[in-house]
Amino acid sequence: NGKEEFDHVMITSTQWATQMSIDIKNFPFNELPLQKITAEHTQHNISSCKFFFSLKTKYWEKKDCKIPQILVTDSFIQDAYAFSWDKNKDDTGVILASYTWEDDSLKLLPFNQKELSELILKELKAITLETTGQDITQYIDSEKPVMIQWINEPSYIGCSKLYRQRNEDQNMLDLTYNQNYSWISGLYFSGENYAVEGGWTEPALRSSIDAVIQMIHHNNGEFTVKDFSYDYTYPKWPIN
């Protein structure tokens, strides 16, 4: 119940989580423009489901195996990818047995992990028997599947950020807020959900680095990185 005060606050939660869990009050529009609030309220996060199994062996290395590493289907599993990191000789690989997006992933929501595991194995067996005459499930360890239904992940509530039609201004405001408004509001927004492309490491990293750079600049900090100049080499964005 205690009260704490800070000169600067960096927000790294997703826009939806911020909207539902954090009260940001008493900021005038010159510090927190209405379009920034609109961007938070109207962001679209893509739904996606990934279902993994460990493999008993890297089947694609077997000379008599006709089953490809990548399967692209028109069934409910959509795509499947078998792969290995090859870091050690004991690595038997894994298979992303079902990789789905949007409506295709939402079709899988009614099923728990055990039910979906059985459905996927049955479908993979039917597909590979029909196309190659071989059963891929003999190479799959079905004991410990891993399911990631991104829309159910409380810290994400979706897989990646997608542009909405006519939302260019809101996206650009997310991209430029730290430069143009944070110096007066003390708020810094960092992470993939405040980048233009959400859902990948690179935009999350760029957004986070930008937030730190802007905070240092707004506090008259000195940059000592070789060949870097905030004034001459860092991109500047006009206020919308």
Q: Tens digit of pLDDT for each residue in 88-105?
A: 778 999 999 999 999 999
Residue owning tokens 């405040």: 194
Angstrom CA distances, 167 to 120, 162, 182, 192, 222, stand at 37, 10, 21, 17, 36
CA 13, 36, 44, 195 torsion-angle sign: negative
Average pLDDT of the chain is 91
Angstrom CA distances, 81 to 53, 159, 199, 236, stand at 11, 18, 20, 41
Q: pLDDT tier at 198 (50, 70, 90 boundaries)?
A: low
Q: pLDDT tier at 85 (50, 70, 90 boundaries)?
A: confident
CA distance 238 to 230: 16
Q: How confident is the model over 140-171, as pLDDT tens digits?
A: 999 999 999 998 987 777 888 877 778 888 88
Residue owning tokens 């810290």: 155
The residue that leads in pLDDT, 12 or 1, is: 12
pLDDT for 216 equals 96
Share of the chain above pLDDT 70, in %: 98
User: How confident is the model over 179-187, as a mean pLDDT?
Assistant: 96
Helix intervals (H) in the chain: 15-21, 34-42, 102-106, 113-132, 168-180, 182-185, 201-218, 230-233
**Nearest alpha carbon to residue 77 among 98, 49, 94:** 98
User: How confident is the model over 183-202, as a mean pLDDT?
Assistant: 86
Structure token pair of residue 193: 């959900």
User: How confident is the model over 37-49, as a mean pLDDT?
Assistant: 88
- Using only the alpha carbons of the chain, give its radius of gyration: 23
pLDDT for 199 equals 65
Residue owning tokens 């000789």: 89
Residue owning tokens 């289907």: 73
CA distance 206 to 190: 9
153 close to 45: Cβ distance less than 8 angstroms: no
